[in-house]
Amino acid sequence: MMDLYVGLDVGTTGVKGILVNEKGEILFASSERLSMITPQPAWAEQDPLSWWEAVRKILKELSGRSEEIGGKIRAISTSGQMHSLVAIDNTGKVLRNAILWCDQRTYEECEEATQILGGEENVLKLVGNPILPGFTLPKILWIRKHEPEIYEKIAKIMLPKDFINYMLTGAVKTEHSDASGTVMYSVSKMEWNEDVLKELKIPEHILPEIIPSNGVVGRVKPDVAKFLGLSEDTLVIGGGADNACAALGIAVVEPGDVMVSLGTSGTVLAPTKGKEPDPKGRVHFFAHTVPNTRYHMGVMLSATYSLEWFKEKFLSEDYDRINDEVEKVPIGSNGIVFLPYLNGERTPHRDPFARGVFFGISSYNTKWDMVRAIFEGVAFGIKDSFDILKELGVELNNVRITGGGSKSKVWNRMLADMTGLRIQKPVVDEGASYGAAILAVSGATKEDPAKISKEWFGVKSYTDPVFENTEVYEKLHEKFKKLYTSLKEMFRT
């Protein structure tokens, strides 16, 4: 009987599951949509049981497919949205909706916690990242302050994918890549930070045990296995945070590898063997799904979303036509500069007040000049992260692009030219679920996850830089940066 494996990804807008064999061939994929709850402006929640319901449907479908092809699901692993908080009581009951990574209610708690811990510089030394509203720690502090009756009942807190593992096995565990996004974890020491917990009076017993990403959480509970059509010896493997799993899925696993994820938001992720964060806190510093490896990550909030927004409001053409027209416009967009800060920006500015700007429009310009300016502005935002990583001494060689924006030849060309680096497009671009599948195989077979990811990875196409363009973009990037600096105070007022 053929051994098969499942990779799941619990995202914000949906849950995805893939069924793979030991060679990494995707045999079947299934997905379910999720909706978000917004009780107040800037709040974002979901019912964790809606994740579980979606996972159950997907696993039931995948187990049926595995039976049809004469295979057996040997292991399941899950990736998930980072930072989001799930709290359960001592009977295992979910105490409230999960507060999501994109929720912005905890600004005061971030300020208070940073002050108690001796200021941001000290926080970076303790946990490797500044305390931001998206992270898990301030969500716990918010519940303690605003919902004390719920806080008193908390027996365990979990991240989304850990909740799914708990529902499958009954065991409460997490792993390093997700733990590192809580700001209660020392990224340099790779363990819960006792000083942070002590100073903020958070009892360590409510935190899950940390295991390796390819460690075994447990076996699927008999009643769950029966309902899903799984064998009772099906293993559940630790899994990982979404970005770390996405990087694992395209073999971004060691220093020199780089993942550019060009989706609604944009990320630049680069593994490192170093143990020190960016001292200015401009890029995140997290643990990878690969043993004893960490990564730096820059995040921009409105990457392909900038183009989606403009298309929805002002364009009727499809994306193929848009790409064709933009390719005809010269570098520099005939004088227009676009700042892609529609909803604030994270890297490098950490400025929630920043907003989108078109600058330099004249009566000469066409709408396609404006659209090209959007493409260039997004690419400059990605370049900002590359420049910070270079400044930190991070090795940048094998650049692999993923996400919806990677389908655009224009963006691939711009990023190659701006960075001066070859851009690789992977054969398989399944995101975090593919990395989770690698961890499922690794956990069941005890093979090194980095080794498996390299064996499964293949390049579909390359885009090489044109160095004459690189020099032109360098000058334009300086203009882009100066524009933000000149408007920074105006954004606040």
Interval 234-271: pLDDT, tens: 999 999 999 999 999 999 999 999 999 999 899 999 99
Q: Alpha helices, DSSP H only, in 346-431?
A: 367-391, 409-419
Residue 144 in domain = yes
Q: Which of 244, 279, 311 is the last residue of a domain?
A: 244
* Domain membership flag for residue 398: yes
Please indicate, yes or no, if residue 137 is contained in any of the structural domains. yes
Mean pLDDT value across the chain: 97
- Going by pLDDT thresholds of 50, 70 and 90, the confidence category of residue 114 is very high
For residue 362, the tally of other CB atoms under 10 A from its CB is 9
As given in the structure block, the two tokens for residue 257 are 């590898």
CB 83 within 8 A of CB 134: yes
Residue 1 predicted with pLDDT over 90: no
In 3D, which of 306, 402, 287 has the Cα closest to residue 358? 306
400: which strand partners? 259, 424
CA distance 311 to 319: 9
Shared domain for 140 and 165, answered yes or no, is yes
Nearest alpha carbon to residue 286 among 121, 82, 101: 82
Question: Average of pLDDT values for 45-63?
Answer: 98
Which 3 state secondary structure label does DSSP give 254? Answer: coil
Residue 433 belongs to some domain of the structure: no
Query: What's the rounded mean pLDDT across residues 94-109?
Result: 95
Instruction: Answer yes or no: are the C-beta atoms of 399 and 458 closer than 8 Å.
Output: no
Contact indicator for 339, 480 with CB cutoff of 8 Å: yes
Could you tell me if 85 and 16 are in contact, meaning their C-beta atoms sit under 8 angstroms apart?
no
Whether residues 227 and 266 share a domain: the answer is no
> Tokens 């299934």 appear where?
30
Residue 275 confidence (pLDDT) above 90: yes
> What is the spatial distance between Cα 125 and Cα 183, in angstroms, rounded to a whole number?
11
Whether residue 240 is found in the same domain as residue 267:
no
Active-site positions read 242
Instruction: Measure the CA–CA gap between 148 and 133, rounded to whole angstroms.
Output: 19
Tens-digit pLDDT profile for residues 124-168: 999 999 999 999 999 999 999 999 999 999 999 999 999 999 999
pTM of the full predicted structure?
Answer: 0.95
Q: Read off the CATH number of the domain in which 334 is found.
A: 3.30.420.40
**26-33 β-sheet, strand order:** 26-33, 14-21, 2-10, 71-80, 235-241, 216-219
pLDDT tens digits, 120-136: 999 999 999 999 999 99
Rama region for 253: left / alpha / beta (φ>0; ψ in -120 to 50; rest): alpha
Same domain, 239 and 347: no
Statement to judge: residues 186 and 225 lie in one domain: yes
* 272 vs 214: CA distance, rounded Å: 19
Give yes or no for a contact between 244 and 286, defined as CB atoms under 8 angstroms apart: yes
Residue 352 has pLDDT above 90, yes or no: no
CA distances from 230 to 63, 174, 389 (A): 6, 23, 44
Total domain count for the chain? 2
Whether residue 367 lies inside any domain: the answer is yes
Residues 197 and 303 in one domain: no
The answer to whether residue 441 sits within a structural domain is no
Pair (208, 298) in one structural domain: no
Please tell me whether residue 398 adopts helix, strand or coil conformation: strand
Report yes or no: 353 and 287 within 8 Å, Cβ to Cβ: no
- C-alpha–C-alpha distance, residues 426 and 178, integer Å: 25
Helix spans in 82-237 (H): 107-116, 120-127, 136-146, 148-151, 160-169, 176-179, 194-199, 222-228
Helical ranges in 147-241 per DSSP H? 148-151, 160-169, 176-179, 194-199, 222-228
- Among 203, 224, 244, the domain-final residue is 244
Q: Is residue 446 part of a domain?
A: no
Q: 193, 224, 244 — which closes off a domain? A: 244
Residues 6+ apart with CB under 8 A from 250: 259, 400, 402, 426, 428, 429, 434, 453, 457
- Annotated binding-site positions for substrate: 82-83
Q: Does residue 390 form part of some domain?
A: yes
Annotated binding site: 82-83
User: Same domain, yes or no, for 158 and 270?
Assistant: no
What b/e readout covers 41-69, taking b as 16+ CB neighbours within 10 angstroms? eebbbbebebbbebbbbbbebbbebbeee
Whether pLDDT at 328 is above 90: yes
Sign of the C-alpha dihedral computed for residues 436, 441, 442 and 448 taken in this order:
negative
**Percent of the chain scored above 70 by pLDDT?**
100
| Same domain for 266 and 326 | yes
Structure-token pair, residue 392: 């930190």
232: tokens are: 């009772």
**Domain enclosing residue 267, as ranges:** 251-427+458-493
pLDDT at 42 over 90: no
**Six-digit token string for 281:** 């806190």
What angle do helix axes 319-328 and 304-314 make, rounded to 10 degrees?
100
Residues 273 and 338 in one domain: yes
Judge if 257 and 232 occupy the same domain: no
Pair 147, 187 in one domain: yes
